[in-house]
Structures are given as C-alpha cells and as structure tokens.
A and B are shown apart, each in its own frame.
Chain A
Amino acid sequence: MKYTFTMLIPSLVLIGLIMIVPSVLTIYYAFTSWNGFTKPTFIGLQNYREIFSDSLFWKVVWNNIKWTLFFLTVPMILAFIAASELNNVPQKAKGVFKTIFLIPYVLPSLAVARLWQIVFFHPLHGVITKVFNHDFLGSTSTTLWAIAMIDNWHWWGFLANVFSAAIDQIDKTYYEIARLEGANRWQVFKCVTFPMIFPTFIFMEIMTVVWSFLVFDYIFIITQGGPGRASEVLATLTYKTAFFYLRFGKGSAIATTMIMFASVPIATYLWLISRRGGRV
C-alpha cells in the first residue's frame, strides 16, 4: 500500500516558507548588528557575549522559570480536581460544566488582560486590591504572580477539558473495583486516574514548559515587563531590544535563546518516547 510522500509536500512547503525561511533569516540577524533601518553588519558572537554576561538576562530567565513552575502546578491541580470531580456527575451536567470551563479560553487575550487589569487588579478600585489591601500588579514582588494568575484563569479550563476527555477513556471497571475496596478520593486518584492519564499529563507538562519560555501576550499587554524588571520575560526582552532600543541583531539573538531553552523539554520528551518504545 502506497502512502505517497506527495501528501506531505504541500504542508512541508508551506511550513518551510512561512516558518523556516524567516526563522533562518532571524538566526542570521542574531550574528549581526542591525538597527532596523540601515543594512546589518556582521559581528559574529558579540551579541551572545553581551547577552550571557548581562545579569539582567539571567534575571529574566529566572522569571521565565518562575512562570514555568507556576504553570506546571497551579492550573494542573485545578484541572485535575475539576476533571476528577466531573466523573461523579451525570453526563448532561458534565457537558455543561465542561463548556463553562472552556469559555475563558475562548476570549481573546487582549480582552482577558484588560478585564482583569481594570476590574480586579486596579490599584484603586480593583476588587482584589480592595479585598487584600495590596496593589498586586504595581509591586515588584507580586506582579509576575498576578499576571500568571490572569493567564491561569484563561488557561486552566482548557486543561480541565483535556484531562476530562482523557479520563473518559479509562475503563469504568477500575473505578468500581476501587470503590468496592473502599478507596477514598485521594487513593482513587493516585492509583487509578493518574496512572491512566499519565501520557496526556506528561505531554501537557512538556508543552507547558515550552510555552512558558515563549510567553508574551499577557505580560506585554499588562505591564510590559515592569515595574522595574519584575515581570520581564525573554519574549518581552526580545521585543524591547529590537523595537525600542533599535537593536534587532541583539533582539534576534535573545529570540534564539528562547528556542534553545524551549528545545530542552522537547528533546527530553522525544528521548522519553524512544526509551519507552512509544509508550509515553
């Protein structure tokens, strides 16, 4: 049976043109000094030397790591709880809940960001500000977490649906056995639910790490990396370096470091798959 390679060609050509060629160009720019106006001049590894020796860069990477840690835990926990509990309600209600959870995900990021910024986190009138008597977005120690919380509100519903669908595939007899043996909620989760959806879980965790190093929208819209550098991440640093400081060469170099960091989890994942014979 012939599955022709030609079926792959349209996709590969399109991806090559749209993604690869421009990216290669940008990688080339990473080795140049370019102000975005006149012609770029080749300067070799100098951009990288500057970047890696700048303590600001590493502070920014640390912000990305903090963001990653947040998203590896908080939305996951919420999604797991939701997905597990969804198991215990009748089908129709389940569908309604799943849809409700998905609605925040459907809203555009500009909308979500502005909504939370004005209604909840506003320094004078915001609901959260009043309740906790603290300006979360305006203080350096809490701003990154506040933005993460906003993005989390947008994201966890999607995760919940993913996990719920995965749980749907688990054979119900396992649950009955567990119940018969008198397992409590936590034990059911630990011994039945979690192991069975492990592949899904691990995939989403990997993608979370990847996406965390690319995160841009919410931070840019809400604080643009401020105050100070408290919420600066690699993507906003790239944008600023290129568009505000007019140093496109250096900006491109920072962008390439994003790819480097994001490739690590991907490589890990692929290695895991090959190790376990495709059974991850």
Chain B
Amino acid sequence: MRRRNAISWIVLITLAFFALLPVCLLFLNSFKTRGEIFSNPFQIPKHFSFSNYVNAWKYTDLGRGLLNSFMLASLSAVLTMLIGGLAAYALARRVRGSSYVITFLMFCNTLPLFIMLIPLFVWFQRLGLTNLVGVVIVTVGLSLPFSILLLRSFLVTIPKEIEEAALIDGANNWQIFWKIILPIARSGFLTVGLLNFVGGWNAFTIPLTFLAANPDQQTAIVKIYTLSGQYTAPWGRIFAAIVVVSLPMIVVFLIFQRYFVQGLIGGAFKF
C-alpha cells in the first residue's frame, strides 16, 4: 500500500513540476532586462528590478486595462449565467423542441470565431457599439452554446419531485427557478460563471478588433499585445505585464477552486 502511494506522489510531483516550472520562469524573467532574458533565460536574475513592472503599468495604462478586463469578465459571466441558465433549465426539463435546440447548440460549437468577425464588426460599428458594451454582448452570445449545454447537464440531475412539491405549494415557474433550482445547482452555476469569467478575462480577438480605436476601453490583454512593436518587443516588460494580468486569474482560481474543479463534471456530459 505504501509503495503504491509513493509512486503516486512521485508521479504527481513530477507533473506539478512540469506545470509550474514555466510559470516560475515567467515570473523570474519578468525581473530581468531584455539582454539578460536572452543570455540566461533559466537563471535567477542578477538584480531584481521592478522597472519592467513600473514601465508596463505606466506606459500601457495597465490599471485601466485591468478595470476593463474585470468589467468584461464579470458582466459576461453574470449575463451568461442568467440568460443561459434559463435556457438550460428549459432544456433540462425537455421543453418541446429540445432535441433540435440541443443539436443546434452543439453545431454552434463548431463555428470558428473569425467566420463571424468582420460582419459583426461592421454591423456593430453602424450601431455605435464598438465599445465595451458591444464586446460584452458579443462575448455573451459566443459563450452561450457551450455554457447552456454544460449547465443543462447539471440541471438534468435535479429530481422533478422537488419542483412538483413547490408547485403544489403554489409557486410559479420563475419562483421555482430562483428559489429552488438556483440554490441547488449553485456549484454548477458557479462553475459556468467562473469559466466565463476566465474566458472574458483572457479574451483577445473580439476585444482587439472592436476596441482598436478605443484605448480607454481596451482590456489588459489587448494592451499587452500592443506592447509588441513592429520589429522589437520589450520581453521583460511583456512578461511583467503578463504576470500582472494573470495573477488575478490565479487568485480567483485558488479561491474558487473547489467549485470549478468539482463542478466540471458533477453530472456533466450526460446527454
């Protein structure tokens, strides 16, 4: 028994090393100058200089970028949960036409992003929505298919009896949804919410295209991209910016890891 466990530990620690080492290197390299990164990418920097961080923050207005990222991520997460949650609930309870809708949603998953990019952009531009609001709308629209399917699979496992009891007690559909379903499927919703939050935070293509002319509204990731000049890129600064932008994600993760990890399967992928 002990030998078996020992092997498990060794394997897991090796894998953890594999996962973490590059991240540590990213962190270490963010303190180096450009020349040092190239000459010694693997070693501890000779002097820990925060100049990369200061420069990254100042010159790309990273603070505002983070604020925008946060708004995009949280708004799209909340909206997707609400709008998608309703739909998922209806599908879980096999409303008429469910199988068609499910097939439709699965098909939507196959559509590549930039097949929609230009028409969307031109159209939103005409509506005056090439701003953060427009990006939120598009992000929600794009996240809905996968989120609805995932949520549905969580909701499918809730026994009908609970709702029937509530109905007998005189509750209507919406009350059932809010007061009964939501609390029970809380971890499932949180999972989907977190997935969408991360997706919104790391989103690149849509914010880049839509917010190109609106640097005040650009998200942090877009700002990092613009750090790369045409020929040269300040790698130290980029790494520093990346650390700053990734850190909130990791923190959010560590706090909610219970939900994210547990909920991913829960009753998922049961169709």
Contact = CB atoms under 8 A, between A and B. Distances in A.
Tell me if chains A and B make direct contact, with any CB pair below 8 A.
yes
Interface of A: 1-5, 7-8, 10-12, 14-15, 17-23, 25-26, 78, 81-82, 85-89, 93, 95, 97-104, 106-112, 114-116, 118-120, 122, 124-127, 153, 157, 160-162, 164-166, 168-169, 185, 199-200, 203, 207, 210, 214, 216-217, 235, 238-239, 248, 252, 255-256, 258-259, 262-263, 266, 269-270, 273, 278, 280
B60 interface: no
Contacts of B142: 18-19
Given A8-B86, A108-B246, 5 more contacts: A3-B89, A25-B119, A107-B249, A108-B221, A262-B110
Interface string B74-101: 0000000001101101110111110001
Given A238-B114, A270-B103, A11 B253 contact: no
25 contacts: A7-B89, A7-B90, A10-B83, A14-B137, A19-B108, A22-B120, A26-B119, A81-B11, A82-B11, A85-B12, A88-B4, A93-B12, A100-B16, A101-B15, A103-B253, A106-B246, A107-B249, A110-B224, A116-B22, A119-B29, A153-B18, A165-B266, A185-B4, A216-B114, A263-B107
Contact of A106 (B40, B140, B253, B258): B253
Contacts of B242: 107-108, 110-111, 114-115
Contacts, number: 263
Contact of B25 (A4, A115, A122, A160): A115
Contacts of B123: 22
Contact of B90 (A5, A20, A25, A97): A5
Nearest to A206: B106
B110 A273 contact: no
B44 interface: no
Nearest to A112: B22
Given A1-B167, A157-B19, A165-B262, A17 B250 contact: no
Contacts of B41: 118-119, 122, 125-127
Given A88-B4, A101-B19, A263-B107, A1 B163 contact: yes
Given A10-B83, A127-B41, A239-B114, A104 B90 contact: no
B144 A102 contact: no
A100 B20 contact: yes
Given A7-B86, A278-B271, A169 B265 contact: yes
Identify the 8 closest CB pairs spanning chains A and B, nearest first: A18-B141, A22-B116, A165-B265, A11-B87, A7-B90, A262-B110, A22-B119, A88-B8
Contacts of A88: 4-5, 8
A126 to B, nearest CB: 7
A65 to B, nearest CB: 16
Contact of A259 (B38, B111, B249): B111
A87 to B, nearest CB: 8
Nearest to A105: B198
A127 B253 contact: no
Interface in B126-181: 137-138, 140-142, 144-145, 148, 163-164, 167, 173
B19 A100 contact: yes
A33 to B, nearest CB: 16
B44 to A, nearest CB: 14
Nearest to A86: B12
A85 B86 contact: no
A97 B19 CA distance: 10
B232 interface: no
A259 B250 CA distance: 34
Contacts of A107: 23, 202, 242, 246, 249
Given A5-B90, A278-B271, A280-B271, A118 B4 contact: no
B50 interface: no
A114 B233 CA distance: 11
A237 to B, nearest CB: 12
Nearest to B82: A10
Given A11-B84, A78-B15, A82-B12, A104 B22 contact: yes
B107 A89 contact: no
A85 B13 CA distance: 11
Nearest to A127: B42
Contacts of A93: 12
